[in-house]
Amino acid sequence: MNYKRWIFIAIFLFGVGLIFGLATPADLANLISQEIATLEEFGDTVASLPLPLVAILIFAKNASALAISFILSPILCLTPILSLTLNGWLISFVSTTVIQEKSLSFLLAGLLPHGIFEIPALIMAQAAALSFGAMAVMAIFKKEKRKLLSPNFKQNLKYLLIALALLVPAAIIETYVTPSLLT
């Protein structure tokens, strides 16, 4: 299967997560709001660090999540599937809460500047992980697919590296631009 199809599959899974986030009951929203408050305290701690270190930490967290998903993808593609659906769910769930508590413009100011880079990076990297994971699983069961595994890995590693490169401007924007838009 070519990479373009994996992109569409990744977008579909991300969209499924978005829909589930919108359908999350309000009772669960209240419970999770308490967890978000704990995360905000952690965010305050991170905000006290020097900005270049914050950007590096944001990049490292996002890059490691994508790399781990790629590495674990041969385990039935579970990690990329969960990553796409959970990230979609989290974005729409938090977005609904932010719109209710603040406004749509506040949400867009907080999400769009770095999300323009980060969301495509997520989808690209997870499409590469799905492609590699599916090929690895097929190579286990079909001997003729084994010779395709190495070229598939190399091609998808290139897509992963492009996605990781997109995380650099995302981390910089999230660190330096987004906070100024939210004040």
Per-residue pLDDT tens digits for 150-160:
999 999 999 99
Q: What's phi and psi for 76, nearest 5 deg?
A: 60, 20
Average pLDDT over residues 24-31: 72
Give the residue among 49, 137, 127, 27 at the shortest CA–CA distance from 83.
127
Per-residue pLDDT tens digits for 126-177:
999 999 999 999 999 999 999 999 999 999 999 999 999 999 999 999 999 9
Domain limits of the chain? 3-181
Q: Please give the residue that has the higher pLDDT: either 93 or 45.
A: 93
Question: Tokens representing 171?
Answer: 């981390």
pTM (2 d.p.): 0.91
